[in-house]
Amino acid sequence: MSSQSAQKHITLSTLNRIRADGRKFACLTAYDACFAGLLNDAGVEVILVGDSLGMVLQGHDNTLPVTMADMVYHVQCVKRGNSTAFLMADMPFMSYSSETETLENAAALMRAGAEMVKLEGGAWLASSTQLLAERGIPVCVHMGLTPQSINRIGGYLVQGRDPIQAENMVNEALQLQEAGASILLLECVPAALARRITETLDIPVIGIGAGADTTGQVLVLHDLLGISPIRPKFVKNFLAESDSGIAGAIKAYTDAVKGGTFPAAEHSFD
């Protein structure tokens, strides 16, 4: 019996139990069936089919050119190679700008194999979150540095350092939980703020550049392997330290997240 077939499929209930038990879970991006299988073998609980594919696969400067057709295609690819991980998919830029678009595009991703959709924004997403949740579509809301808003933000900048902005972020996170968000993802926020939000909410919180105290951690696969053109502070090249190639690097990341050794202080923001 293979290691994959011996494992049960991770569900949202599994992730909630991990949170309740005070444990950690690992999340990684994947965009094809081959890497989905490697992530399964390593014990990664959540696979994110991210619009980061626009940068690491398509060569764009940002995620904005990624289309719904791109996302559906890659979700289908990952679905075929995935047997154990919970599968989450990004809603790409402007795919949830109206109620009709939100429902149609989220449904397309779920039909392709996603088990949750991820939207970027703050409290303004409460109505969309409620709309989707009421119709049986689990929602992850991505807060902090939101790459789809990069032109408004003015760069890839840490969010929440200002006390007023931090307080607003806590309040907005609570509003989104109340609206029906099942997971919150925090990117590039001070570790202390991420800890506060994680302790305040009753749902799992995934961090990337958000310190070590969130329930889960996520990285872009290509960052973990050291082959991305951009290498942010919160990234660690696990392949450089691996004696077992790519599979070993993915397993090292997974073990480090679950063991609490990644991220370390040098991967976090004050």
Catalytic residues: 187
Residue 61 marked as a ligand binder: no
| Residue reference for tokens 């709309």 | 131
Tell me how far CA of residue 172 lies from CA of 51, 119, 123, 167, 175, in angstroms: 23, 14, 5, 9, 5
CB 253 within 8 A of CB 195: no
Contacts of the segment 241-250: beta carbons below 8 A, 24+ positions apart: 246/38, 247/38, 247/41, 247/42, 249/224, 249/225, 250/28, 250/38, 250/39, 250/42, 250/44, 250/221, 250/224
Closest C-alpha to 161, from 182, 197, 190, 141? 190
Cis peptide before 263 (omega within 30 of 0): yes
Residue 52 marked as a ligand binder: yes
Residue 70 marked as a ligand binder: no
Annotated binding residues, written as ranges, equal 51-52, 90, 118, 120
Residues belonging to the binding site for Mg(2+) are: 51, 90, 120
